[in-house]
Amino acid sequence: MSTVEKKTEVIIVGQGLSGTFLSWCLEQQGVDYIVIDNNAINASSKASSGVINPVTGRRVVTVWMDEIIIPFAEKTYQQIGNFLNIEAISKTGIIDFFPNPFMKESFLKKIELQAPYIELISEEEPYQPLFNFEFGIGKIQPAFVVHLPKLLPAWQEFLLQHNKLINSAFLFSKLVVAPEKIIYDNIEAKQIVFCDGVEGNRNPYFSLLPFALNKGEALIIEAPEVSNEFIYKKSVALVPYGKDGLFWAGSNYIWDFDDDQPTETFRKSTEVALKNWLKVPFKILEHKAAIRPATVERRPFVGFHPKFQNVGILNGLGTKGCSLAPYFAHQLSDHIINGTGIEKEADLGRFSGILSRTSL
């Protein structure tokens, strides 16, 4: 075992959205921590669109805990953005081009029921020179775009400047978990929290959890004639991506995959879809792919292991990571500091029976 050279309160493994916000919350509450991250190029946080959408699916259903999660996320992104002197989030709307009459019918039924966030666009003329569409347009608002290409590197730089980040792959061979302490290499901590994304599926402490990994892909395109004012959605979503005229175009869900690499199939099918939808020129600049750490029941894993009570997890946020990460990082940090409870549907305690069978 290495000689202990540094003591801290919490070791955080991973600096995707979960690790970023857990470290942010601990930072705000004056709790000492160290983040260990391997800066993986194909991490799901780096390939994400950054969209926070208050409704989901073909049935136009309001997302889980929308009245709590979404305002909390907006406020938290503004706070971390102000702290880092960057624009971390933008408020926008989603222009939803109905791909078929059935989707329009679902949308109209929700409007009749006075569902929040949605309305029908009657003035279609501004969109006719830019897009091909046959079945009308809806609008979803407010929605948000989180500027992940700015946020994650800016927080990484803060961590580096304050000697709170170790750029390295995490090795379980260097980890010692004792009842009263954690030792990793030359660091001693009271607790360790894994925010390790898809690696959680192979994590020996949490591999028994019901992950449901899926792969997503996206193209980064340049379409100078399309305004960055909104997100646009038909069979493909176009999400403003940094500077004017740049868009993230995607995504798909692949449940059976061999690796995390981009596929020619997706590129070709998305290019065809864009050509059929857009009336204006566009150029493909980049092709991204990543594996999402989703879960079978579509709820995150938040809390500490029942057998190894100083080993925690914040993972399984899936496609809703941008909206869920701030809130559940806050809940977990409060749990660490004050022992407060965690939202029942996200609490790791619901898997106590499964995790009690963990053998290392």
Q: From CA 151, how far away is CA 78, in angstroms rounded? A: 11
Structural domain contains residue 334: yes
> 176: left (phi > 0), else alpha (psi -120 to 50), else beta?
beta
Structural domain contains residue 141: yes
Domain interval for residue 284: 214-292
Q: What is the pLDDT of residue 1?
A: 52
Q: Are residues 76 and 135 in the same domain?
A: yes
CB atoms inside a 10 Å sphere around CB 153? 14
Q: Are residues 305 and 323 in the same domain?
A: yes
Q: From CA 327, how far away is CA 342, in angstroms rounded? A: 10
Single-letter amino acid, residue 344: K
Q: What is the pLDDT of residue 2?
A: 62
Q: Are residues 304 and 342 in the same domain?
A: yes
pLDDT beneath 50, residues of the chain: none
Domain count of the fold of the chain = 3
Q: From CA 14, how far away is CA 312, in angstroms rounded? A: 13
Q: From CA 12, how far away is CA 27, in angstroms rounded? A: 12
Q: Which helix (H) or strand (E) holds 106?
A: helix 101-112
Structural domain contains residue 225: yes
Q: Are residues 199 and 307 in the same domain?
A: yes
Write the pLDDT tens digit of every residue in 280-330: 999 999 999 999 999 999 999 999 999 999 999 999 998 899 999 999 999
Q: Are residues 279 and 315 in the same domain?
A: no
This prediction has a pTM of 0.95
**CATH code: domain of residue 270:** 3.30.70
Q: Are residues 190 and 309 in the same domain?
A: yes
Q: What is the pLDDT of residue 60?
A: 87
What order do you get walking across the sheet with 181-184 strand by strand? 6-7, 187-189, 181-184, 175-178
Q: Are residues 245 and 101 in the same domain?
A: no
Who's near 331: CB < 8 A, 6+ residues apart? Answer: 302, 340, 342, 343, 346
Who's near 93: CB < 8 A, 6+ residues apart? Answer: 139, 140, 141, 142, 143, 230, 231
Q: What is the pLDDT of residue 39?
A: 87
Structural domain contains residue 360: no
Residues 6/186, Cβ–Cβ less than 8 Å: yes
Q: Is the peptide bond before 142 cis (omega within 30 degrees of 0)?
A: yes
Q: What is the pLDDT of residue 188?
A: 97
Pairing relation of β-strands 311-315 and 191-194? parallel
> What residues does 337 pair with on adjacent strands?
none
Q: Are residues 34 and 100 in the same domain?
A: no
Q: Are residues 226 and 273 in the same domain?
A: yes
Structural domain contains residue 190: yes
The dihedrals phi and psi of 256, each to the nearest 5 degrees, come to: -120, 105
Q: Are residues 105 and 183 in the same domain?
A: no
Q: Are residues 265 and 239 in the same domain?
A: yes
Of residues 149, 156, 183, the one with CA closest to residue 23 = 156
Q: What is the pLDDT of residue 21?
A: 98
- Could you give the C-alpha distances from 134 to 12, 137, 234, 271, in angstroms and in order? 49, 9, 11, 20
Structural domain contains residue 327: yes
Write the pLDDT tens digit of every residue in 149-187: 999 999 999 999 999 999 999 999 999 999 999 999 999
Among 94, 122, 146, the domain-final residue is 146
Among 97, 119, 146, the domain-final residue is 146
Q: What is the pLDDT of residue 42?
A: 78
Q: What is the pLDDT of residue 57?
A: 80
Structural domain contains residue 194: yes
**CATH code: domain of residue 195:** 3.50.50.60
Q: What is the pLDDT of residue 269?
A: 96
Structural domain contains residue 1: no
Q: Are residues 196 and 182 in the same domain?
A: yes
Of residues 16, 42, 278, 27, the one with CA closest to residue 152 = 16
What order do you get walking across the sheet with 165-167 strand by strand? 165-167, 33-37, 10-13, 191-194, 311-315, 301-304
> What is the distance of C-alpha 309 from the center of its chain?
26
Among 146, 162, 191, the domain-final residue is 146
